[in-house]
Structure 1
Amino acid sequence: MPEMVRLLQVSTQNDIARRDCAVDSQRFPENERNKVRRVAGLSEWQKIKVARYIDEHIDGCIRVEELGLQVRLSASRFSKGFKESFGRSPYDYVLLRRVEAAKFLIATTQEPLSQIAQACGLSDQAHLSKIFKRVVGMTPLRWRRTASASRSTDATADRQRWARLSNTGMTAEAA
């Protein structure tokens, strides 16, 4: 008899499980269950390859389709994975990388802003100024002046440090 009770319990549990599955499938039809899928980000090699490609082609036109081809994904799938991985759209990321490149060139060279704009893949100086101010919070010219002042302050500090070391007989390596 106890064996029959156990079999009846198992059978009842199976019936309940089947009923629950049937109810779930009615509440969530197949096409609705597929919509719930989470978008996965790019793999590590894909992130590295895309970031490198963007930096190497920062001076030109970079299209989402080209980026997707680099990592063997459709433009749509790539855009979703990119946003999941980088926290922003490919367009926004490329724009930020262009501004970072411009910041470096503005701070370290005396090239005209029009040439820096072209070197960073922006159409002209006006476009560079507009994007730069929106992202950085100051104009490119102000950025250049700030960087120049910072460099001269650093150079003065280096000269003063060197003078102190020279007076004590120490070398820069020993400090």
Structure 2
Amino acid sequence: MVEPLAARAQPPEIPVISGEPELMPLRRERAMAHARPGLAPWQVSLAKQMMSRDMSRAIAVTDLAIQCRLSLSHFTRAFANTVGVSPYAWFVQRRLQHAETLLNETSLPIAEIALECGFADQAHFTRAFAKAFGIPPARWRRELYSV
């Protein structure tokens, strides 16, 4: 004999403790975790290490995905979910941080810094640096030494 729907046992209510947010049902929590893939700590570390190894050379995101044992699209989405920016954006930020260090700590010409940090030329570096820091690298360096 089949029981009517109303007579079937319902899952127990989860009590809400005052001051704490309501707990999410387990199924929805699993679905949300699946909807926003993330990288394991070893994958984040490996990808960042590979990108930081040599700033002067471009690295293919495909190579990062292969090393992390993921498809390109899954890796790109998971990296962005985990780190907060795309792999390419993280790489450009890292290059600009390296350039800032070289500007502050060396007397290398700006064109040489541009090439060492993987930019195509000084103009490309100047545009990227000015967009990130609000002033061109030559003025950055002038203002650093004028203080």
Alignment of 1:58-137 (within 5 A): 58-137=55-134
C-alpha deviations, 1:42-70, integer Å up to 9, x for none? 11111111111111122101111011122
Amino acid at match of 1:11: E
Which protein shows a greater Rg?
1
| Residue 87 of structure 1, CA deviation | 1.1
1: CA distance, partners of 2:77 / 2:6: 40
The unaligned stretches of length 5 or more in structure 2 are 10-30
Select which of 36, 39, 42 maps to 2:36.
39
2: CA distance, partners of 1:53 / 1:149: 37
RMSD: 2.4
Higher helix share: 1
Give 1:162's aligned residue. Answer: none
Query: Percent identity among equivalent residues?
Result: 33
Q: In structure 2, the residue corresponding to 1:11 is in which secondary structure?
A: coil
| Residue 15 of structure 1, CA deviation | 8.3
1: CA distance, partners of 2:55 / 2:78: 21
1: CA distance, partners of 2:146 / 2:132: 21
In structure 2, the CA distance between the partners of 1:100 and 1:47, relative to structure 1 (3 Å rule), is same
Alignment of 1:45-64 (within 5 A): 45-64=42-61
The higher-RCO structure (CA 8 Å, 6+ apart) is: 2
2: CA distance, partners of 1:37 / 1:47: 18
2: CA distance, partners of 1:148 / 1:72: 47
C-alpha deviations, 1:119-152, integer Å up to 9, x for none? 11110100000000001111101211233345xx
State the TM-score, normalized to the length of structure 1. Answer: 0.64
Runs of 4 or more above 4 Å deviation: 14-17
| Residue 13 of structure 1, CA deviation | 3.3
2: CA distance, partners of 1:14 / 1:105: 71
